[in-house]
Structure 1
Amino acid sequence: MSKLWGGRFTKKTDQLVEEYTASIMFDKELAEEDIQGSLAHVAMLGKQGILPLTDVERIQDGLLRVMNRIRRGELEFSVSDEDIHMNIEKALIDDVGPVGGKLHTGRSRNDQVATDMHLYLRKRVVEFVGMLVKLQEALLGQAKANLETIVPGYTHLQRAQPILFAHHMMAYVSMFGRDAERLQDSYKRIDMLPLGAGALAGTTFPIDRHFVASKLGFGRVYENSLDAVSDRDFIVEFLSNASMIMMHLSRLCEEIVMWSSTEFQFVELDDSFTTGSSIMPQKKNPDVAELVRGKTGRVYGNLVGMLTVLKSLPLAYNKDMQEDKEGMFDTVKTLQGALQLLAPMISTMKVNKDRMRQAVNQDFSNATDIADFLVNKGLPFRQAHEVIGKTVLYCIQNQKYLLDLTLEEFTQFSKLFDENIYKVLQPENVVNARNVYGGTASNQVADAIGRAELEWQKTQAWVESFAEKSK
């Protein structure tokens, strides 16, 4: 069969050109969205009297048969038919005859493909918010189980001050909460219908774009036909949000890799989320965490690639924009894999509370509290800082920790020290002294968990509301 657009041409397309310009190898991912958009479009053509209802019914029935063939894996896609739109239209014409060619009345592949991607990303964004909710749930579970577990807090990867492990987990709950908010906010810019913009200028047929939007559940319709077919902001925004999520996942995974090492021994990952070595039988490798960390780079690359494709494009549609899909699909797949694995990996992670406590007892992360103790005695902070610096140096030189010092040793450095210093230096008291909003004190962390659970419930309800709509 000749090209569906071949009337103007006198020669066949060179085979290399067909292979180079075809997108069916990857845009077949949009098959269901393409048919979904076509069903709404042809319903509108019937409503507006542009097509007879008998033709509409035949086309709709044919489209549903084509969809079932695709779902069963029975439809063989062809490079010679270029893309998913032409492959489906050809399959439809083969099924219902020439009347299938009426489906394309009042539209172009330009507004058709844009609609497909809006439909595709709209669904994915809701799914990703749901996955972030599950990851937050796993982190909240670890936080609630470790409200009394004290661990060294770090800056510059040097032990800084003791904190609750629950407080550390809640930092990631906050990060992923912002990620979910960004996705939710982006939804309104994805939830826009381009169909009806035609190739770039609209159409001469009396179409009803708002009817199509209603059929497809879109909240808004693009105001400008040029913008409708050339806009890929919503994809760039998704890739940016995905990059942010992967960055947060990578930070968490980096810590998991360190914490599960022999040097830290803070956590142990479940066997089902680790792998072994082909030569060293003792190894238990955190491959999942490492791969999430590694795959972050490809998501960043997809964002930069998309921005580069768009940076000099004149209005409206250009073939360059075919490059918008592979990176988007790859990012979706990469993010899905990471989020699906991280939630159960976190929830099954064993926390070595004793090892964390041992680490806290064998460092100088309570030094700031001694300075604060002297400040409360009236010594200026800068002088107190110097006193404690000398005290720590003395401990290092004598292979002691601060709690090992006698009161006599303390008073060598300041006469303001008294017996209360030993109470101040206890890790529990160091932690609970940070009793400020957002601090690591146990009551503050418990309150933070409560607030986070309320936000978690709201986000979960947002996801569930779309599940209800799709029924």
Structure 2
Amino acid sequence: MKINKRVLPTLPFRLAMIPLLMLAAGLAQAADKKEPHDNFYFLGEMNKASTVMVIDTKVVPPELGKKIVAAVDQVIVNGNKPGAERPADYLKYEPLILAIAGPDGSRMHSGRSRQDILSTTRRLMQRERVLNLLDEMNKSKAEFLKLAEDNIDTIVPAYTNGVQAQPITYAHYLLGFTSVFDRDATRFKEAYARLNMSPLGSGALGTSSFPIDRKQLAALLGFDGVVENSYDAAQLGALDTGIELTGISSSAALTIGLLVQDIHTQYHQPYPWIMITEGKLTGTSSIMPQKRNPYGLNLLRLQASDVVGGAMTYQLEAHNVTPGMPDYKRDQVEKTLDQTAMSFTMLADLLSNLQIDKARALEEVDADYSTTTELADMLQRDSDVPFRVGHHFASDLVTYGRLNKMKPADIPFSEVQRIYGEALKAFNFEHAQFPLTQAQFRTSLTAQNMIASSKGLGGPQRPEVERMLAAEKASLIDDQNWVKTQQQKLTKASADLDAAFHKAGQ
């Protein structure tokens, strides 16, 4: 099985930590994906495009053009043979062409430099990876939505400051994460529009005296246009596009980290309400037979950390260098994009293996006092008790219940009435008698009532969750179609380039 070092740069460390069978399963899944093209491939594509262009602009006469076409084609064929040399540096690539076509083969390079070639290579490799990354994001989103649909009425605790705060539904929780990833997807699509512009033909800095048709080169390579200023194209653009792409990747990875850590806290409990299906994403201890270690969480967290680290590495490499240096034109951006894509692959696998214990989740909510906000709301809404007064009473009620080790449902109603009267003394409030019946009071503290009573846009109540879920499903279809359209455009551009190239050789 081939291990993609670009995807798993910290493999030696991880092999020491993660069971081999589990890691092998993840690698097998990655192996099913289409490998990104390498530098040699894209040098060949650029050489084909440049050959067509210099013939069309009459920089090279047709007969010589045929000779160059044959040489460029043969170098590509030779490089595709098993074990063949596939140079990534143009200075090592061009001698292969000259060995076949002679010195005249270098006329194909008219108006180009390694500078604009390298800048173009970066964009060609990055756009391919952005589309792959978005494809993996879409797959993970599909898993989010499936899990959400299965848990529309699953009541779970939600936390602020690490403390149980209010009950929501698990579907509401999951849709919160898809909202964040929607923004990341939008950022990537917007970045793609800026990325998919061609630097080729700008030369080292200021173009050349040859009549280079940069727009034709862009079209032949499937770009949507050109980076107009040649200095920007060859020397500056690689930096800000790299920062943008690695920054979005880091943002997405941080959100993945939030989710992973939230799930991981369940493993601190003897009886978690969320677990990973035992199998490829879990493992046992070498000494403790009770352990069911959540290796899927561990590995995903490490992968997300690699993304954040990769983004920071790129910033450090690009920091304090003069224009034209190679520091920000290396492959760190591609590495980070690959790591991010793998993070979403692993996230989708994790989501498909989660087990939600609905009864245990509700038990967790019922054991605490996270519904007391609704008690204060009900007092104001139904009995005209100011919220701060109701809030003070509810807080005193919580203090009493916890001191006496009682769940909310266990507090005697007579004590509720007494605590209410005592709490009101602080406000000199006239409503000394507790205004709710015992049934109303008990209902106010149920998670089901609190969620059903929610009225706000985007809340956890079922109608809102169903509306948001439907919107996310429609958004997913749009995102899938967008990626498919961009991939089809690149496929068509590659086919058109091949046709134009071989026609020039006839």
> Is TM > 0.5 for Structure 1 vs Structure 2?
yes
**Amino acid aligned to 2:441:** I
Partner of 1:268, secondary structure, is strand
Per-residue deviation, 1:276: 3.3
The answer for the alignment partner of 2:294 in structure 1 is 286
Partner of 1:420, secondary structure, is helix
Check conservation: 2:317, 2:327, Cα contact below 8 A: no
Distance (Å, rounded) in 2 between the aligned partners of 1:459 and 1:32: 28
**Amino acid aligned to 1:439:** G
Partner of 2:331, secondary structure, is helix
Distance (Å, rounded) in 1 between the aligned partners of 2:329 and 2:338: 15
Check conservation: 2:202, 2:231, Cα contact below 8 A: yes
Number of residues paired by the alignment?
438
**Amino acid aligned to 2:173:** H
Distance (Å, rounded) in 1 between the aligned partners of 2:263 and 2:404: 34
Per-residue deviation, 1:89: 1.9
The answer for the alignment partner of 2:207 in structure 1 is 202
User: 374, 380, 384: which one pairs with 1:378?
Assistant: 384
Check conservation: 1:407, 1:417, Cα contact below 8 A: no
The answer for the alignment partner of 1:76 in structure 2 is 85
Query: How many percent identity over aligned positions?
Result: 27
The answer for the alignment partner of 2:478 in structure 1 is 458
Per-residue deviation, 1:222: 1.7
The answer for the alignment partner of 1:254 in structure 2 is 261
Distance (Å, rounded) in 1 between the aligned partners of 2:467 and 2:271: 29
Per-residue deviation, 1:426: 2.0
Find out whether 1:67 has 2:92 as its counterpart.
no
Partner of 2:84, secondary structure, is coil
- Describe how 1:146-161 pairs up with structure 2 within 5 A: 146-161=151-166
The answer for the alignment partner of 1:367 in structure 2 is 372
Check conservation: 2:281, 2:296, Cα contact below 8 A: yes
The 10-residue stretch of structure 1 (387-396 or 28-37) with the greater mean CA deviation from structure 2:
28-37
Distance 1:43 1:276, change over 3 A: farther
The 10-residue stretch of structure 1 (57-66 or 421-430) with the greater mean CA deviation from structure 2:
57-66
The answer for the alignment partner of 1:412 in structure 2 is 418
Find out whether 1:402 has 2:408 as its counterpart.
yes
- Describe how 1:235-384 pairs up with structure 2 within 5 A: 235-263=242-270, 265-270=272-277, 271-315=279-323, 317-318=324-325, 321-376=326-381, 377-384=383-390
**Amino acid aligned to 1:169:** L
Distance (Å, rounded) in 2 between the aligned partners of 1:57 and 1:254: 60
User: Which whole-Å deviations, capped at 9, do the CAs of 1:365-422 have from their partners, x for residues lacking one?
Assistant: 1111111122221221111111111111111122211112232222112322313112
Partner of 2:419, secondary structure, is coil
Partner of 2:168, secondary structure, is strand
Per-residue deviation, 1:322: 4.2
Following TM superposition, the consecutive aligned residue runs of length 4 or more in structure 1 with deviations greater than 4 angstroms are none
Find out whether 1:128 has 2:133 as its counterpart.
yes
Distance 1:282 1:60, change over 3 A: farther
Distance (Å, rounded) in 2 between the aligned partners of 1:364 and 1:201: 69
Distance (Å, rounded) in 2 between the aligned partners of 1:248 and 1:73: 41
The answer for the alignment partner of 1:45 in structure 2 is 54
Distance (Å, rounded) in 1 between the aligned partners of 2:299 and 2:79: 32
Distance (Å, rounded) in 2 between the aligned partners of 1:174 and 1:124: 22
Check conservation: 2:40, 2:86, Cα contact below 8 A: no
Find out whether 1:390 has 2:396 as its counterpart.
yes
User: Which whole-Å deviations, capped at 9, do the CAs of 1:211-235 have from their partners, x for residues lacking one?
Assistant: 1111112112122111111122111
Q: TM-score, normalised by structure 1?
A: 0.87
Check conservation: 2:318, 2:328, Cα contact below 8 A: no
Q: Identify unmatched segments of 5+ residues in structure 1.
A: 1-26
The 10-residue stretch of structure 1 (401-410 or 297-306) with the greater mean CA deviation from structure 2:
297-306
RMSD (CA atoms) = 2.1
Check conservation: 1:115, 1:195, Cα contact below 8 A: yes
Check conservation: 1:411, 1:417, Cα contact below 8 A: no
Distance (Å, rounded) in 2 between the aligned partners of 1:138 and 1:28: 28
Per-residue deviation, 1:94: 3.3
Larger relative contact order, structure 1 or 2 (CA cutoff 8 Å, min sep 6)? 2
Partner of 2:38, secondary structure, is helix
